[in-house]
Amino acid sequence: DDNSHGIFAQSVGGGGGAGGAGSTETGKAETAVTMYIGGQGGSGSIGGEVEVNNFGKIETLGYISHGIFAQSIGGGGGASGAATGASEADMTIGGGASIPNGIPIPVVGDPNDPDNEADGGKVTVTNDGEIITHKDGSYGIFAQSIGGGGGYGGTVSSDFAGSDSFALSLGGKGGNGGDGGDVRVEVSGSIETFGARAHGVVAQSVGGGGGVGGDAKGKTSNALGIGGLGGNGGDGGDVTVIRTGTITTHGVD
């Protein structure tokens, strides 16, 4: 059958949970200061190590049916919760609006913390036997490690109505992508493929994409909205392929 690999070994980290939403609603007052903070999305789990050793014969007959398919994938980060609010205030502050001294600005989590990045694990494949694939898109060995994608920074929105009001909205920062793990493939036996686009060995390590920064939006007479920064992409790991045996491909591309 198609999509039927000789050996399929993988480890996939779980995705992070979504952070809870925060919301407020404040009635009319002479001066109102409202703060709303969405919860931080959970970190994705790290992909575990994957190791495959083949000393026998593997043969596949279907399309996209690799001899050995081994991968480790870090879990994606969870989405931070949205923060929304509605407030009505008549603010009688002389001159420009200002934030009073002493009001703390809390920080929930650190998207740059390495513990918040779900890396792909190390992948090792050794072939001391024989691998044969017959159809298109069927690799002899496909080994990869992929870092988890960064989570989405939560949206912050507000709706103020008043004769003199000011709102500052900051979108959450998207989480950083995890790093791809090291990938090592050793071929001391034989690999032979007959289909088109059927490579003998494909080995890759891919860093996870950075998360999307959250939106900031509001409806006020004086508003400053700053969208969150997107997270950094992860790095790819080292990729090593050692061939002391034979690799033969008969197809095109």
Write the pLDDT tens digit of every residue in 171-197.
566 677 788 899 999 999 999 999 999
Q: What is the pLDDT of residue 232?
A: 76
Q: What is the pLDDT of residue 253?
A: 84
Cβ neighbours of 103 (radius 10 Å): 8
Q: What is the pLDDT of residue 94?
A: 36
Q: What is the pLDDT of residue 90?
A: 40
What is the distance between the alpha carbons of residues 176 and 74, in angstroms, rounded to a whole number?
Answer: 12
Q: What is the pLDDT of residue 208?
A: 78
**The model's pTM:** 0.69
Domain ranges of the chain: 7-13+36-86+115-151+178-209+237-249
Q: What is the pLDDT of residue 21?
A: 55
Q: What is the pLDDT of residue 149?
A: 74
Q: What is the pLDDT of residue 117?
A: 65
83 touches 58 (CB < 8 A): no
Structure tokens at 97: 């609006």
Q: Identify the segments of the chain with pLDDT beneath 70.
A: 15-44, 77-117, 150-174, 210-230
10 touches 74 (CB < 8 A): no
